[in-house]
Amino acid sequence: TTPETTQKIVSTQKTDGSIKLDKQVSEHIDISSDDIQKTVQSHGVSDKLKNISQSAWETALSLRYLTMTSSKDQADQHKDNSEKAKQYLIKELKDENLVKELLTASDKIIIEQSVQKEKKDAVATVQQSTSTEKVHEIVSNQKDDGSLQLTEAVSKELETDSTESLVSSVKSYFTTKDIKLPESKKIIDTAMTLSFLRKTSSADSSPEVKEKYEKAKKYLSSQIKDEKVEKELLEKTDQIVVDHATKKVVKEKANKVIIEKMQESVTVEEVDKVTKTQNKDGSFEISEKITEDLGITTSKDITSIIRVSDERVKKFDEKTWNTFITLEYCNKVLGKHEVVKDEKLEKEILESCEKVVVEKVSDKKKQSSSWFTSVGGYLTSTTKYLDDAGSDEKSFPEPVHEKSNKDSEKSSEQQMIQQMKLNHGLFMDEYGMQPSKLAIIKDDGKLNISSYKQQPIVYTNINDPDSTTNLNFETILQPSDACINFPIAEIAYNGVLSEAFANEDENLNELFGHLFARKVTVGGKLFIKGFSSSNQTQIDIAKFYLSSVYNLAKHYNKFSPLNHFSVFHFLRIETLDGKVLDTPVKLGDWMRDLYQNNNFDIISYDNLIPISQLKHEEFSDVNFESCPIEKQPGVANFKEKLSFDVWTGNVMDINLVGWIKNLPHCQVINKSYKLEKSKKFAVNIVKIPNIESSNKSYLETTKVKEELIINNIFSIKDLSHFPFVDRNIESNDSSYDEYSFLIKLEKYEIIMNRDHFNPSIEFEQAINDALESMKPYKALQGVFEEYGQFFAQKITLGRIFKKNIPNATSAKIYLKSPIVKSLEPYLNNLNIPYLLTQQGKIIEKNELFGLIQDLNDLEIIELNDFIPLYKILDEQQQRKIDIILNSNDCKSSEKKNF
């Protein structure tokens, strides 16, 4: 908020402290004074809040808007006005707790209304975002039957990875439905293109476009032959187009704010640094200023992120690319582009370069600039709840078991049975589930424990009081947006019915409960509130965060809290016993205790049967598999039961999941001159690495040594320059007649810098011990042969297929989309009927094409940006090692001379 806006808001404050809802605030949150009561009631406020005065609502909304959107200096300046408004509310409502509830509700309303307003504005912008020229280009590929091809132009406009990703989104949606789509990809292509045209442009832009539009609709109807299916397909493709297009608009708006702020701070000296790099022919070099702001240093960096389909751009030299980027960075023309000689292509490249400049500078500023936290306070406010806002306390019934005791003297099966009351029934009352007073099964039975190896389980929209499956006796359970079960083991118990149970008839339920669980699941359970009042970006961040903490805790004994994720201001996370996990440390400790210390609870009772059934059958004769009933502590009902990876959806594609446990492995050249992963971990990942999409596909023929290819290393020419490596693997195997033919399909790049990892405690200790030894060089060499001699900071994920071929030359050929169509001629020309996976599995050509179209099964295909492992140590240790290395080099030189 600008100082002028802030001043305008407080200027409406009356002598009693109340604040009138300013027109600008009203427009920003899309609430007018006339319908304020109607709007706030639509956000599900309590009955007490529904009945308070309009003046109180306007004051609360103005106060919270002012607090959420002001900078620290602005907040300090108007501190007295804020305090006066709070005192007015206390006096007006005569209940401080109700005031706290009102301010919390105002936070929620402002955020939800602002997000909806921004989305509404973005949709309006989208409706006329595609030019007439672009529309004609898209419909020009219409086939005679009326079908439309989904072109790269559409995916580029929507800023998606590829047309395949759009088609995949549609297919994924319909796999969860009973409706079956026809198999033809042409149908989805046509529907998606139609949605793009009708949502981002006007079909009436010309008679020709209107005719093609109608022809495409007729094609869909003739192929689907079902109005209901056709309608749902177009509704889904409409939704996908609008979602992608609005995200693009919102992103561009945010970037614009950042760029404008950056431009205000640019000095004459900084402009000179850029413009002085111009050559006599009008071309530019990349200046240090651009390198700093964009993180782009070479033409390779530029071409890897520029999306221009014209093949001519591949012939541009480094000077041309440097000039394009510099021109867009300066936002003015300083030289003629004679090397291009095509105005249309020049315009396309400049637009693409402009996008790169804006996004790169924005990302850099977000990461490094102190002013970013106050830029567009409104944008920040839509993802922020303040700490002083109140929150409801949640109560849970007492757990139906005791915590597992890990003392060694209580580790027998019988003690576990008694402690967890596995042989007791479950008594159902108004407090939920309680263990029965007496045991149903004798405690000398057999315990069967099996490790749980599947994904955690997520239950959505739990304890809904309006649910038709709501259980009346669990009325004290609080609703939550999600409940996540993190199982670690399943325990089944077999035994003989106790005599007390066999002889009891009169007080059966009172003494032995209502149900008996044949199997229980143990682990941890988290209840999460806040998703329902969060926007999609917040939800994605929260899922990413939870998934990352889960994977770190499961694979590592020690890891630092992920403090750089801000999720606790909009999420409330609680454990089964009601403990609030409101910091990264608390959540990390809880997850670590679960997976590393086995500090578990019973989180689910399965194969439940009424105990009355046990009275009439022998325990060994009961068919528990026919009793799939499940009961969970703290959960009365839920909407959906999902696996963790399904719940996180696309977020799982961009987190580390299984890769995080492989990242800390370093590389070693062993005594057999073979390259292998280190035996011990030298690195602890302390911050989630940067994940960048990299949808590049290419063929490569190379004579890089097989040993390096197996280990996904292609860029290093000489490994012997790394410290403590006294043996080498040549990167070019000139003695070998055959070339390696590779198909590389890149999906993501995991990029790390020094902020993302620390040396492990064990590695640091081993280094200290070696430095203090009598022969430090030899001792250090031994340490690095165990922990690794070098470490990759860039890991490319995707798929790779290979085969040795004779009579080739080193080359690299990028494949066009669709990949299969582009690849097939090369395989035919080289007479390649099959290839091998990294594991050596033979893949026939037909099978290969199927794998290429589905890149979900990712693997590491290339390691890059290697650093000597000792460079991850602190400066003092590095200096000591440098001295030892220099001393050893001098001794080696003296021996040579002698």
The per-residue pLDDT for range 213-241, each reduced to its tens digit, is 889 889 988 888 888 888 888 888 888 88
Tokens 């996008």 belong to which residue? Answer: 355
Cβ neighbors of 882 (< 8 A, separation 6 or more) are none
Q: Which residues pair with 798 in a beta bridge?
A: 746, 859
Are residues 673 and 751 in contact, defined by beta-carbon separation less than 8 angstroms?
no
- Angstrom distances, CA of residue 118 to CA of 31, 70, 90, 535: 13, 19, 32, 11
Per-domain residue ranges of the chain:
3-126, 132-254, 267-374, 412-647, 662-897
Evaluated on CA atoms 10, 15, 17, 23, the torsion sign reads negative
Q: What is the CA radius of gyration of the chain?
A: 32
C-beta of residue 501 within 8 angstroms of C-beta of residue 436: no
Cα gap 486→578, rounded to integer Å? 16
Query: What are the tens digits of pLDDT across the range 803-817?
Result: 888 877 888 899 888
pLDDT by residue (tens digit) across 597-624? 878 889 998 888 777 777 666 655 555 5
User: Could you give the CA distance from residue 390 to residue 635 in angstroms, rounded to a whole number?
Assistant: 25
Q: Residue 408 is inside which H or E element, if any?
A: none
Mean pLDDT by 10 residues, the chain (898 residues): 73 87 82 82 81 88 79 73 89 88 83 70 66 80 87 79 74 63 79 83 71 88 86 85 74 59 62 71 71 61 58 68 70 38 50 49 41 28 25 33 41 74 77 77 83 90 73 60 93 85 78 84 92 74 79 67 59 88 84 85 85 65 55 86 81 46 60 70 71 82 76 69 68 60 86 82 91 92 88 87 84 86 87 85 81 72 87 91 81 40
The reported pLDDT for the residue numbered 780 is 93
Q: What's CA 524's distance to the chain center, in Å?
A: 22
Is the CB of residue 580 less than 8 Å from the CB of residue 574? Answer: yes
Region at 540 (left for phi over 0; alpha for psi -120 to 50; beta for the rest): alpha
Closest by alpha carbon to 357, among 286, 419, 405, 422? 286
Contact 661, 595 (CB under 8 A): no
For residues 193 and 162, what is the distance between their CA atoms, to the nearest angstrom?
A: 14
Say what the pLDDT of residue 457 is.
93
Residue with tokens 């909407």: 639
Q: How far apart are CA 279 and CA 277, in angstroms?
A: 6
Question: Under a CB-based contact definition with an 8 Å cutoff, are residues 286 and 325 in contact?
Answer: yes
The answer to whether residues 841 and 731 touch, using CB atoms and an 8 Å cutoff, is: no
Question: Cα separation of 443 and 422, whole Å?
Answer: 9
Residue 668: other Cβ atoms inside 10 A: 22
- Phi then psi for residue 819, to 5 deg, are -60, -45
Alpha-carbon span 474 to 631, nearest angstrom: 12
DSSP structure class, residue 432: E
Task: Return the structure tokens found at 792.
Answer: 């990759």
Q: Which amino acid is at 13?
A: Q
Give the integer Cα–Cα distance in Å for 670 and 785. Answer: 7
pLDDT at 170: 77
Beta bridge partners of 487: 523
Tokens of 175: 């796999």
Q: Quick check: 227 and 168 in contact, CB under 8 A?
A: no
Give the model's pLDDT for residue 388. Answer: 28
Half-sphere exposure for 237 (CA within 13 Å, toward CB)? 26
CB 489 within 8 A of CB 523: yes
Torsion over CA: 217, 219, 222, 228 (sign): negative
Q: Which of 744, 747, 749 is nearest to 823 (CA)?
A: 744
Q: Chain centroid to CA 281: how far?
A: 46
Q: How far apart are CA 866 and CA 717, in angstroms?
A: 12
